[in-house]
Amino acid sequence: MNLVTIIFLAIGALGIVVAAITLFGGSLFDIGDGLFSTEAAATFIGGFGFASAAAYELAGETVGVIGSAGIGVIIAVPLAFLAARMVERVGNMPTDATPTATDLSGARGVVVTPVPAGGFGEVRVRVGGQPMKLYARAAKPIALGAAIVVTEALSETSVVVMED
């Protein structure tokens, strides 16, 4: 491996470093959105460096340093475009609404800490496919492991239940 290839590989590694800082450092290097986002820039730098290194190693003096850099740009531009589109798509991905107290009524579950009469125990229910552990009150004591149904939501974390 010669010096030109090492320089191109170092440029590619710089792209990986910028991407890692963006991923773990939040908005530390936030430069914008779309094609001028940090993610697109990191992809362009990495794609340019690695593609140029590969082109120089494969073609060597036939295309030279400038030709290898040109091939790197030709490969890096569509990569940066795809990265910008993927980041945009992931950022605008629709998600389900966050469950609220009104979604708890009617949920079925099981007692995980016995519910005393007039006191609080704990139940596990599924809301929107997600397991939730909630504080529970009941008119009558309910034993550990009993099946329950939520009759009323007192808050997002506590409910009134009855044995199912």
Residue 58 confidence (pLDDT): 92
Residue 67 confidence (pLDDT): 94
Share of the chain above pLDDT 90, in %: 57
Is-contact 150 127, C-beta < 8 A? no
Is-contact 9 2, C-beta < 8 A? no
**pTM of the full structure:** 0.58
pLDDT digits (tens, 9 = 90+) for 64-113: 999 999 999 999 999 999 998 998 888 888 887 777 788 888 999 999 99
Domains of the chain with bracketed CATH = 3-91 (no CATH), 101-163 (2.40.50.140)
Does the pLDDT at position 137 exceed 90? Answer: yes
C-alpha pair distances (Å), 56 with each of 30, 74, 97, 146: 32, 14, 51, 70
Other C-beta atoms closer than 10 Å to the C-beta of 82 total 13
Other C-beta atoms closer than 10 Å to the C-beta of 114 total 16
Rounded to an integer, what distance in angstroms lies between the CA atom of residue 25 and that of residue 96? 27
What are the beta bridge partners of residue 117? 138
